[in-house]
Amino acid sequence: MNNATEMCPMELAAYQALRPAKRFTDSRNVLLDLAHSGDGSSLMVSATDVILFYDLKDGSKEKPIECKKYGVDLLEYTTDDTCAHSDTKGGLIRLLNITKNTYIRYLPGHTKRICGIKSNPQHREKFISSSEDGDVRMFDSRTFDNYGLLRAGHPPLIAFDPDGIIFATATKSETIRLFDVRSFDLGPFSVFRIMKNDDDEWTNIEFTPCGKFILVSTKGAGVKWIDAFSGKLVHNFCDHKNPRNVSLRATVTPDSDYVMVGSADRSIYIYNTETGNVAGKLSTPYPEPSHILDFNPKLFLMTTLGREVMIWTPDSDYLFGRLPER
């Protein structure tokens, strides 16, 4: 895309300058999940019965893959040419060859709806999944092995740290457990019960790019910033609006300095992770919040899902040094 850059600027003005460069309305279905390829060149989006694909090098859309027989909910790249996805009801995970539009293998194990699929960032062919059956399973897409199983007891949220050595589970919207992927069978090496003053239902967890914090998205009014070493609740970002309790997924900027989340006042809020204060807002075209935000792993691009797929890049004023003084 014309305004995409290889290096991500480390200043607030860069994030304040983000504007929708591309807007796609390729499906009338609810947009459920998104994933970027490891090299940052491709984007896929699940929309109930179809997977939408986009080339981020030039901002063009590619041929979608219909999933009308099984449906599609959560998805994740396992290589740049293959993905793992769940359906909207059951516990089966399917491995799809994107290039050939054929299924490689079905991965059984879970007995209820999948609630998380996360690839190891250093070995994307290996991934973990979680389910409403209370289990976390570990798969290798090369051998199709289910090589690990954890009984969480409650439907867990899951996330890998940036080095792919630690993974976290979150249960009952209050407890985070940290596991070493090399010795997960020995149990968690840290357990944090988060001290909070609300009943917000947690919807997603992710480690920050620096690996020092865990971002917790919710259906409520707050997004939580937690110290990954102590379990301390550092900030509860709560100035954005979510009156209908939409399941929001916030995102962390690549430098870990800011958190961005959709809001029901035609805005995306930018929070400073050092102070916890609002550092700026981006305008969106719709009153309901953009429910999923995600930064590209390689390019300075942000993708948001709402009524449509929107790809954000810095505007030309920022790129050519013409931003007005603030």
Quickly list DSSP for 69-98: TT-B--EEESSSSEEEEE-SSSS-EEEEET
In this prediction, residue 325 carries a pLDDT of 42
What is the rounded average pLDDT of the residues 109-124? Answer: 96
Dump pLDDT digits (tens) for 125-152. Answer: 999 999 999 999 999 998 888 889 999 9
User: Can you tell me which residue has the tokens 């009984």?
Assistant: 151
CB 16 within 8 A of CB 267: no
Q: Which of 15, 39, 54, 8 is nearest to 309 (CA)?
A: 54
Summarize the confidence of residues 207-221 as an average pLDDT: 96
Residue 189 CA neighbour count, 13 Å, CB half = 11
Output DSSP code: residue 319: H
Share of the chain above pLDDT 70, in %: 95
* CATH number 3.60.15.10 is the correct assignment for the domain at 38-161: no
In total, the chain counts a number of residues equal to 326
Q: If you ran DSSP here, which 8-state letter would residue 30 be given?
A: P
Q: Is the pLDDT of residue 3 over 60?
A: no
Which residues neighbour 231 within 8 Å (Cβ) at sequence distance 6 or greater? 176, 190, 192, 193, 194
| Element housing 12 (H / E) | helix 12-16
| pTM summary value | 0.94
The pLDDT score that the predictor gives to residue 145 is 80
Average pLDDT for 239-256: 96
pLDDT for 6: 47
Over the chain, what is the mean pLDDT?
Answer: 93
